[in-house]
Chains A and B, each alone.
Chain A
């Protein structure tokens, strides 16, 4: 079918009102849940094919997390749909006021290749919960996953209201020419700009989920138990999710000079203990990204800073977990988002300097802090800006539906997960109502001084003055 025809069908489905009912929303969410349960093997297979992702990792970050979000949405969507009563102040007089969430219409979701299933389903859950018709355009760089979504979503879900359109940048461009009621984009700032520029033509609101260099401030923890646990969380948070090809992965570490050797030893030891088999770590998505990452290491002064790893296998597109100490700050590895298994460690005289270091750079999606120092924690929260701040763990914030997920500044705007996903695909319509019973004639022209006095009394909350004036007026 031509794109125009597909869009007309979606618009028709939305306008029929079908997607607004609670039962439709819940049935579609359950159907997504069915895919995850019944086609789990298929998901493991495509993620293996696209990214060499181990099934344990695939379950934790894509299948399991999506099931958790779905369960939450199925349980709460009825409550989310209910109008919120608003306070009615005397000045406005209306007898009722509420905010009613209504679906936006036909929405477009661009997802990305690093979590091709999880990052497609997470916004899709929000769009469906809010009662929209949806087009999902998965990334062509994870072709097996894209194909899996196209086949199964059309098989399990209402395929007249929810469509998967596969393709590359040309298809993306075609989609962007049309008018959508919302565009939700996950990817790079470069493409984010293109998406927003196209959206401006139709006044379409956008959500941009971008990335950035997420720093982790690693304080010189005194207890060896804390150190060990923190390092495990760093290793798990860097190489665990898609081998660092993650928007919320730790991009670089900030540590005190004297603590750096201790930290490097612990990191090495943990890497050896964790990644005992090569298939416990994902591979690089494609040759282009493999080249990009190997180029980051080619700069001689960067290469000289490698203290662990650094071996590359261009056949298998795998890069060993690599640690670097103090690569030059103007090298590309420290100016661009790494999005791969390389971890620079930047040393500082004092850990407090990390705050200024972060402030001098674009706002990241997350700032991680491994510390027990409450004062440092407070300073990080108050003095830096980022999508989120996470203390003493990494990545796990993705699993929480009570906090919003999204960026600020260079890391994008608009937030989702849990009810935030529902809200971002809804319009909060203000609905106020009055009756014909009470009527104040001083609202109407011809204006005179007395009417103005009455109004002044009301606005000064001078109800007695108002009453006197009102009675006198009558």
Chain B
């Protein structure tokens, strides 16, 4: 839906509003039957996904290669294994997640018991992205299944091989009556967005995020928006520059060649340290990808011609073309752009205004490393913020003053692999979080259940109102045990 790609071919005619409505109604009927609620159903679907990954790993890798020329190591590490470990983690924890949480009830309502019950939301829609087409589709689907929902997945048409792979193989492994794949682009997505869903989970850009949320508003549907943003990397001068350069390089070019929502977008470092860092990054790039990176098989290519044009136009901006200190080569036929470093690009250049989402890495310099915090906070809130330092004080200040979806100190992107950390944005980088139990929660409604019996009554809350009753109500609300004792005796009885 990005940049106007052609819609992928649909089987069995056009998927319009009518067909979307039919499908939604069918799925709602099945959801109402209660089929998706049982632990057994949820576990069977997750096990089906694990089996699919084990049996179809080669096909998945081939689809990722076709869509993005993603190196097998990356495909395995970032997509296949992450999805599989999310599945096995959910399978292990599922029973525990589903259990109602007992909470203490207060003296005011004594005697009573209270608990929070997680219930599925209903029929949910997941719209995923092209850059990690396997991971970003199945990762939310796992949460939706674990929470007991019926699910429609709309993979991105910009990664057509992976999209059609889902449509082809998912039905063989999971319950196709409650988990469906709809392929397509803008018309199909529009048809889907017209329907009433119980939750919409969208991964992509802010422009489409706004459209999704406005469509959801018509039906009062809650949404999760997983967007991106310009994720900064602050580099202090007191670090092990060799290790830092490797971690930055693998986090930038080793993650789908910079086409990742949590990839480093730009670096901020001190004027004096910049040459050292540039030097180290250059050497690291050569070690990783050889003298001529265009020969390397370890770099994903740019996803398509539209994105290639967008990225080259960032480089051709006259404000920045003279600032390239490494790389800059391109080959339109192979959709290749070399890992590129730019030093001291102006703040008002296009490359510093828009999310780069590609292999270009500008470096901004400041006098003192602390100055970078104000610079970051003057921009919209990013999905991730990174800092390399050995200075604990600086780290503390960074954590407490910079706002971002998540942050990682002294490394890049790894925080995403921890199932115990919520993953999601804030401000322009979106809202709502997922991964691990946070995914289960994102697709659950937390129903409050309060139970009382017919012993013990605070008659004082009922009219006719007397001064005595009002005094007792005051004490009850303040948690007075003596007041509660009187209330239990049904005192005062007047009226």
A174 to B395, CA, bound (A): 40
In the assembled complex, which residues on chain A have CB atoms less than 8 Å from the CB atom of B481? none
A392 contacts the other chain (Cβ, under 8 Å)?
A: yes
> Chain A 55-70, CB within 8 Å of chain B: the 1/0 string?
1110110001101100
Contact B81 A385 (CB under 8 A): no
In the assembled complex, which residues on chain B have CB atoms less than 8 Å from the CB atom of A67? 477-478
Contact A274 B473 (CB under 8 A): no
Contact A89 B420 (CB under 8 A): yes
B243 contacts the other chain (Cβ, under 8 Å)?
A: yes
In the assembled complex, which residues on chain A have CB atoms less than 8 Å from the CB atom of B474? 59, 64
Residue of A nearest to B445 (CB): A408
Question: Interface with A: B5-13, B149-157, B209-217, which one?
Answer: B209-217
> Chain B 189-216, CB within 8 Å of chain A: the 1/0 string?
0000000001000000010011101101
Contact B419 A56 (CB under 8 A): no
Within 8 Å by CB of B296, from A86, A87, A193, A446, lies A446
B227 contacts the other chain (Cβ, under 8 Å)?
A: yes
A22 to B211, CA, bound (A): 38
Number of interface residues of A (CB under 8 A): 109
Contact A60 B473 (CB under 8 A): yes
Contact B220 A189 (CB under 8 A): yes
* Best-buried of A382, A391, A428, A429 by chain B (most CB within 10 Å): A429
**Known A230-B454, A389-B447, A444-B254; contact A434-B408, beta-carbon cutoff 8 A:** yes
* Best-buried of A99, A240, A403, A459 by chain B (most CB within 10 Å): A403
Question: Interface with A: B130-138, B167-175, B357-365, B460-468, which one?
Answer: B460-468
In the assembled complex, which residues on chain A have CB atoms less than 8 Å from the CB atom of B432? 205
Write the nearest CB–CB distance from A5 to chain B, whole angstroms.
21
Contact B450 A68 (CB under 8 A): no
Residue of A nearest to B102 (CB): A402
A445 contacts the other chain (Cβ, under 8 Å)?
A: yes
Contact A193 B217 (CB under 8 A): yes
**Known A203-B225, A229-B454, A446-B288; contact A196-B217, beta-carbon cutoff 8 A:** yes
B246 contacts the other chain (Cβ, under 8 Å)?
A: yes
Within 8 Å by CB of A280, from B106, B254, B464, lies B464
Contact A431 B419 (CB under 8 A): no
A203 to B216, CA, bound (A): 12
Contact B421 A273 (CB under 8 A): no
B104 contacts the other chain (Cβ, under 8 Å)?
A: yes
In the assembled complex, which residues on chain B have CB atoms less than 8 Å from the CB atom of A230? 454
A208 to B108, CA, bound (A): 27
Within 8 Å by CB of A274, from B214, B377, B464, B478, lies B464
Contact B408 A432 (CB under 8 A): yes
In chain A, positions 220-254 with a C-beta closer than 8 Å to chain B are 221, 223, 225-226, 229-230, 232, 235-236, 240
A1 contacts the other chain (Cβ, under 8 Å)?
A: no
Contact A434 B410 (CB under 8 A): yes
B326 contacts the other chain (Cβ, under 8 Å)?
A: no
Within 8 Å by CB of B451, from A89, A276, A383, A392, lies A392
> Chain A 375-414, CB within 8 Å of chain B: the 1/0 string?
0010001110111111111001101111111001110111
Contact A97 B473 (CB under 8 A): no
Residue of B nearest to A223 (CB): B454
> Chain A 173-210, CB within 8 Å of chain B: the 1/0 string?
00000000100000001001100110111010100101
In the assembled complex, which residues on chain B have CB atoms less than 8 Å from the CB atom of A169? none
In the assembled complex, which residues on chain A have CB atoms less than 8 Å from the CB atom of B34? 383
Contact B450 A393 (CB under 8 A): yes
A408 to B37, CA, bound (A): 17
**Known A210-B220, A434-B411; contact A409-B447, beta-carbon cutoff 8 A:** no
